[in-house]
Structure 1
């Protein structure tokens, strides 16, 4: 768990360097990456959240009206660790004659 938190923090720091108008952090309890525009910047009036630092960078670019980065590189091991598995869909309940 400590390794995951350290990796998340490092990824958030790296994204902060690439997005200077934003405050970026890794949520230790949520496992998500978060960003808000820095004070004095009227880009979006809300927080942004994403499962990976790469996804958050794309959200920041969309909010700024810039094109997103093309995902030409394979997913990194770090990004794979921070990706949540898809939610399980419960089996449909079928009424049985009573």
Structure 2
């Protein structure tokens, strides 16, 4: 097995921490503070990483925490059903023509 670069090991460790710690479901502010602390930890664990590599590692980690489709619930309240619609029915704007 080939010896991997420290940046690759640190990146893999960061992704592992992200999955284990549940940071994916956290609020943006909590993700930011968690990421700052975790990058500081990784800097101690991998002292050969340059400041630029740590910055890159943080950026990759934050991008990993922001999926294309959000897993967090929307803060907007659900829409009220249309007048006359029964529970479970979907009100359409116009009738569907066959």
More strand by share: 1
Structure with greater contact order relative to length (CA < 8 Å, sep ≥ 6): 2
More helix by share: 2
TM-score by length of structure 2 reads 0.29
Structure index of larger Rg = 2
TM-score by length of structure 1 reads 0.29
